[in-house]
Amino acid sequence: MKRRSLFWVQLAATLFACAFVTVPILLSLAAGVTEDYRIGLTSGLTLRWVEKVMLEYGGTILRSVGLAVACLGVTLVIGVPLAYALARSGQRWTRWVEELLMLPVAIPGLATALALISAYGTWGGLRTSSLFILIGHVLFTLPFMVRAVLAVLTAIDLKTLEEGAASLGAGPWQRFTTIALPNARGGILAGSLMVVTLSVGEFNMTWLLHTPFTKTLPVGLADAYASLRLEIASAYTLLFLMLIMPLLLGLQWAAKRLESRP
């Protein structure tokens, strides 16, 4: 009897927590497709706010997607080999490298952005290009890729597997592509999921790095809220979720597919 009562109490607490988080989001999304958010859905449904966002902020959406894809590509090229090198080394200095990689995460994004501007802001047209934002995103997301891949590689006996492959004549590149990468695919996908999510939604660093011509989706969303245009901001939020959810679901589907393979 006590266990049954405890179950219902836990269920009620869980449902309350879920409602506390999701109800404001649903109300915000509803405001983006209603004629008058103050009246609610009874005022009628409309897509004119969504159309207005596409006309005024469509470039920020495409830019955010492009930055996320580019950021994922750079972190894969840099992060996976770096995690492999750290996993193979096993030396004391590898712990220091890991801690240094986590500095951009520990330091506030505004401080990192200010450091980038101070160091590289005068390099030709870099300051006014999307490449500058991409550099900031890579600095912020690279630790998540490295940590995800490194966790998987350190969980297996990588040294023994590589010694066996080497005894059969496999070179360094062959050992990396046939042993490290297949075993690290779960970590690579987990890291990819985090990189894409964080890049699309990153605001603190991007807010200081962007220019009027290089706005991203979160910066445009902040501008819409700051101007008290609640319908526009809510429609912007709706488009943001429509953009990020397929990416997340696609990566999760790919992860399950790879995990099911022998």
Other beta carbons less than 10 A from residue 34's beta carbon: 20
Q: What is the CATH number of the domain that holds 200?
A: 1.10.3720.10
Instruction: Judge contact between 75 and 195, C-beta under 8 A.
Output: yes
CA 78 to chain centre: 16
Tokens representing 116 are 């980038």
Both tokens of 20, joined, read 């506390």
pLDDT band at 137 (very low <50, low <70, confident <90, very high): very high
Q: What is the pLDDT of residues 74-105, one digit of tens each?
A: 999 999 999 888 888 766 777 777 777 777 77
Closest residue by Cα to residue 210 from 140, 141, 116, 128: 128
Give 229's pLDDT tier (boundaries 50, 70, 90).
Answer: low
34 assigned to some structural domain:
no
pLDDT digits (tens, 9 = 90+) for 108-129: 888 888 888 888 888 878 888 8
pLDDT at 241 over 70: yes
Rounded-to-5 percentages of helix, strand, coil across the chain: 80, 0, 15
In a domain, 177, yes or no: yes
Q: Is 19 exposed, middle or buried (0-12, 13-18, 19+ CB in 10 A)?
A: exposed
Number of domains observed in the structure of the chain: 1
For 131, the domain range is 51-260
- Of 12-21, 133-142, 179-188, 230-239, the poorest mean pLDDT is in 230-239
| Domain annotation covers residue 157 | yes
Q: Which is higher by pLDDT, 27 or 66? A: 66
**In this structure, what are the phi and psi dihedrals at residue 34, rounded to the nearest 5 degrees?**
-115, 155
Residue 37 lies in a domain: no
Report yes or no on 22 lying in a domain: no
Count the neighbouring beta carbons within 10 Å of the beta carbon of residue 217: 27
- Across 40-45, average pLDDT: 71
